[in-house]
Structure 1
Amino acid sequence: MSQPDPAFWAGKRILLTGHTGFKGSWAAVWLQALGAQVTGLALAPDQTPALYELAGVGDLVRSRIVDLRSLDALAAALEGETFDLVLHMAAQPIVRASIEDPIGTFGSNVMGTAHLLQALRGQPALQAVLVVTSDKVYANAETGRAFAEGDALGGKDPYSASKAAAEIIVQSFARSFYDRAGVPLATARGGNVIGGGDFSRDRLVADIVRAGRGQGETVLRHPQATRPWQHVLDCVAGYLVYLQRLAQDRAAPRALNFGPRPGGAEVTVGQLATRAVEALGARPWRHEPDPQSLEAQSLGIDASLARQVLGFESRLAAPDAVDWTMDWYRREADGEAALALCREQIARYGNLT
């Protein structure tokens, strides 16, 4: 199956937004290992601890702390810079946080995206731009059917709606400006990601890790809910392979799903939490229903088009993704360096068949 090609990425000038976040930090480490010249734009980390700091990501890339909600600050940060490729991952990624701060979420996820695409229009060497959205961009009627790229967009909570809106923003910029300039502009819709180094609030694995380290307990709101679980390396690998293809083939699709292998068994929140708790030796989780929650009970995405077009599919099934994740946390807690653990798992992932 397809993998990021070091020969393609070596020396490429990459703009990576969101490099201070969980997925962004993994992307930064991988791109640096591929030989790319990475410039990161993002807000300061909002996690404690943060993988960005644990792994010393700021020493691997040219890191700039910028709020994409400010067009002036963004334009100043990009002045005089030239990039070959852009991977836009900066976002407010938490559903419950979007309920608490809908305006801030729309500001980051909608206007932040619009500001970036506007600021990039003058880039003379730009080959392709990939905007990361979410599996939650689809209008979800809770039928249990996996969503395909042609399905209707929607969103009943501010996070989902903001990501669906970002999809429309991207389409409008592509048709109005980027297509005319010959620069492919596309979106990647990833599933629920787990992996070492995620310490976000209101995230399943991070809550289990905190419980295992004596910092509270794991509370599940919807243990029977299903999600398209995916290891962070599967997700980031898909993004890189897709961005590489966009730069090489202007006929590539302008939106792709990335998630578990098609036909794989569904894994509920409770099942994944049980395996993670057992692997980490944490306290058992407990169920605390939230009748006010807007989170979907059933969510699945069809990633078969990525396999057909890119020759790419996830390599780690959900149980393996949990095992890799908990191994990272156990070893990091025992004193192993976070950066070394990330690099080891990236190399191990590259050897999978």
Structure 2
Amino acid sequence: MQSVLITGSAGFIGFHLSKLLLAQGYHVVGLDSLNDYYDVSLKKARHDVLAREPNGKNFSPVIGKVETPGLMMELFGEHGFDYVIHLAAQAGVRYSIENPRSYLESNVIGTFEILEAARAHPPKHMLLASTSSAFGANTEMPYKETQRADHQMSFYAATKKSTESMAHSYAHLFDLPITMFRFFTVYGPWGRPDMALFKFTKAILEGNAIDVYNHGDMKRDFTYVEDLVEAIRLLMDAVPVRPADGNVPEGDSLSPVAPHRVVNIGNNDAVQLTAFIEAIETATGIKANKNMMPMQPGDVPATWADASLLRELTGYQPRTAVEYGVAEFVKWYRDFYRPNAAGTER
């Protein structure tokens, strides 16, 4: 049985990925700090679901922070991981304005601890989460991994871009195969309470207004979470190899000097925010009351992934329609929180 470390296993994406890998017969060591950035009971519920899966005996939860000195070294030494998938991070663009130090500690120092542990106990492949926000002020769409990404618009994005550079240096120096994947607006069941779909659904069901930034003139490449984790699973097998002659195929983001690659994971489709809200209205059967707001600091007006490299490497392309994905989230939300007819949660 192959062993996988998933950091952030009680998080939205980590939960879905852990569930998929358990179903496929992996031993999953799930690390999570269960911090209070959002509802801890939701995080605990995700871990509880994993423990009850048919292969739940192969799930080993560990409560701790990636940035804790020595913790990663201890786990790597004990388990000898075949794969490491690093999802744990302080997320959120707006919160990074309020509390930037938490991003430095979790995202930068936490990644350093993982890289040091991998240097001492090398896995077959490491896959580290980055973000579409790394493209920053880039206006050339769709975003391609080979485009320059030098002007991040938030401290969150800056820390994630920093981890890409850190990982590249370790890949080069110590021949560690590393894939960085840039997520594009992930959504779906068990989503985070600080994300738009969760906030909009909760407000609409409770009869409250929703805040729509940039007056609704925003586009996002909404990516359904089950598509995302399927792509990560397939990328586990796409191990980057340092090119012997330094030549990289056209369109590939593989480094010429390291076994390091950046890959977009997106739906390859930019959807207007107003259309996303309409999908929520359809799924809930309730018309939203909208507060039109200006653009928030650190936000960008549009994201759109070119997913051709993902398709080239894995043969896979996320394709779930927003209407289906939103309906699945609303179904989960109603089942998990059980709001009554008046909209308040029981």
Same fold (TM over 0.5): yes
Quick check: 61-70 or 290-299, which moved more? 290-299
**CA distance in 2 between partners of 1:216 and 1:64 (Å):** 38
Pair 55,172 (structure 1): closer, same or farther in 2 beyond 3 Å: closer
| 1:280 to partner: Cα distance | 1.8
- Picking from 25, 29, 38, the partner of 1:39 is 29
Contact persistence 1:208–1:277 (CA under 8 A): no
**Structure 2 unaligned blocks of 5 or more:** 244-251, 255-260, 340-346
**CA distance in 2 between partners of 1:250 and 1:267 (Å):** 36
Question: Which residue of 1 is the match for residue 282 of structure 2?
Answer: 278
Pair 282,51 (structure 1): closer, same or farther in 2 beyond 3 Å: farther
Question: Which residue of 2 is the match for residue 255 of structure 1?
Answer: 262
| 1:31 to partner: Cα distance | 1.0
**CA distance in 1 between partners of 2:20 and 2:178 (Å):** 22
Question: Which residue of 2 is the match for residue 129 of structure 1?
Answer: 126
After TM superposition, list the pairs within 5 Å mapping 1:144-155 onto structure 2.
145-154=141-150, 155=152
| 1:212 to partner: Cα distance | 4.2
| 1:194 to partner: Cα distance | 0.5
Give yes or no for the alignment of 1:230 onto 2:237. no
* 1:74-103: CA deviation from partner (whole Å, max 9, x where unpaired): 334444221111111111121011111112
**CA distance in 2 between partners of 1:292 and 1:258 (Å):** 25
| 1:325 to partner: Cα distance | 2.5
Pair 217,24 (structure 1): closer, same or farther in 2 beyond 3 Å: farther
**CA distance in 2 between partners of 1:138 and 1:311 (Å):** 24
**CA distance in 2 between partners of 1:40 and 1:113 (Å):** 16
| 1:58 to partner: Cα distance | 5.6
* 1:118-163: CA deviation from partner (whole Å, max 9, x where unpaired): 1122225x2110001111111424x351111111123121111111
What is the DSSP-based 3-state SS (H/G/I as helix, E as strand, rest coil) of the residue aligned with 2:90? coil
Aligned partner letter, 1:82:
G
* 1:212-271: CA deviation from partner (whole Å, max 9, x where unpaired): 442854222232111111100111111110012228x7779411111013xx4x311221
- Picking from 173, 176, 182, the partner of 2:173 is 176
RMSD: 2.4
Give yes or no for the alignment of 1:165 onto 2:162. yes
What is the DSSP-based 3-state SS (H/G/I as helix, E as strand, rest coil) of the residue aligned with 1:71? coil
What is the DSSP-based 3-state SS (H/G/I as helix, E as strand, rest coil) of the residue aligned with 1:41? strand
Pair 327,144 (structure 1): closer, same or farther in 2 beyond 3 Å: farther
**Structure 1 unaligned blocks of 5 or more:** 1-10, 336-353
Quick check: 270-279 or 233-242, which moved more? 270-279
Question: Which residue of 2 is the match for residue 90 of structure 1?
Answer: 88
Question: Which residue of 2 is the match for residue 71 of structure 1?
Answer: 69
Aligned partner letter, 2:188:
G
Quick check: 286-295 or 49-58, which moved more? 49-58
Contact persistence 1:129–1:184 (CA under 8 A): yes
Question: Which residue of 1 is the match for residue 257 of structure 2?
Answer: none
What is the DSSP-based 3-state SS (H/G/I as helix, E as strand, rest coil) of the residue aligned with 1:246? coil
When normalised by structure 1's length, the TM-score is 0.82
- Picking from 303, 322, 325, the partner of 1:299 is 303
* 1:34-76: CA deviation from partner (whole Å, max 9, x where unpaired): 1110001121154325155156146232111111122233334
Question: Which residue of 1 is the match for residue 213 of structure 2?
Answer: 221
Pair 321,112 (structure 1): closer, same or farther in 2 beyond 3 Å: same
